[in-house]
Amino acid sequence: MKVLVDTPIWSLALRRKHRPENASVQMELASLIADGRVAMIGAIRQELLSGIKEHAHFERLRDHLRAFSDIEIRSNDYEEAASFFNRCRAKGIQGSNTDFLICAVAARCEFPIFTTDADFAHFAEVLPIVLYEGER
């Protein structure tokens, strides 16, 4: 089973300074990568590459991320993301358009979402998504 890995997980793993409290997340991501189970969408790729000041660093990261092909995003994914936004908003739950697109793709593909973003726990109360909790 593939796992849709959200931006905060990648960010923790890609930091130069590794902190002990992040070790389990980093090991879990490494395991998913080794098993070929990582799912990526273009919006997450864009978030990871945005704001990198040094061009050489941008190119290195871009080249590393190219190992992960993007899951195709369909028109109905955008429609479902808007529906998810509306459903959550009606319950007082806020989120970004990218977060709801992640939820829509994950729901369609039946991928759990690997994230440290607490908003997704709120989304999971309303939406048909599953959060990845690791296998370790």
pLDDT at res. 134: 85
- Rounded to 5°, the CA angle 132-57-12 comes to 25
What would the pLDDT profile of 9-51 be if each residue is shown by its tens digit? 999 888 766 677 778 899 999 999 999 999 999 999 999 999 8
Task: Count CB atoms within 10 A of the CB of residue 84.
Answer: 24
The whole-number average pLDDT for the span 93-122 is 98
Strand order across the beta sheet in which 3-5 lies: 38-39, 3-5, 113-114
Quickly tell me which residue has 């109905």 as its tokens: 76
> Is 130's pLDDT higher than 60?
yes
Residues 108-135, mean pLDDT to the nearest whole number: 96
Check residue 15 and give its pLDDT: 72
Q: Which residues pair with 38 in a beta bridge?
A: 3
Tokens of 19: 């902190």
Mean pLDDT within 74-90: 98
Question: Average per-residue pLDDT in the chain?
Answer: 94
Domains located in the chain, CATH noted:
3-126 (3.40.50.1010)
Q: Which residues contact 71 (CB under 8 A, 6 or more apart)?
A: 4, 39, 40, 41, 105, 109
**Share above pLDDT 90 across residues of the chain, in percent, rounded to a whole number:** 87
Instruction: Tokens for 65, please give them.
Output: 């991320």
| pLDDT at position 22 | 78
Q: What is the pLDDT of residue 51?
A: 86
pLDDT for the residue numbered 44 = 97
Sequence-ordered alpha helix ranges (H) in 66-127: 75-90, 97-109, 119-126
Alpha helices in the chain (DSSP H): 7-14, 23-34, 42-49, 55-65, 75-90, 97-109, 119-126
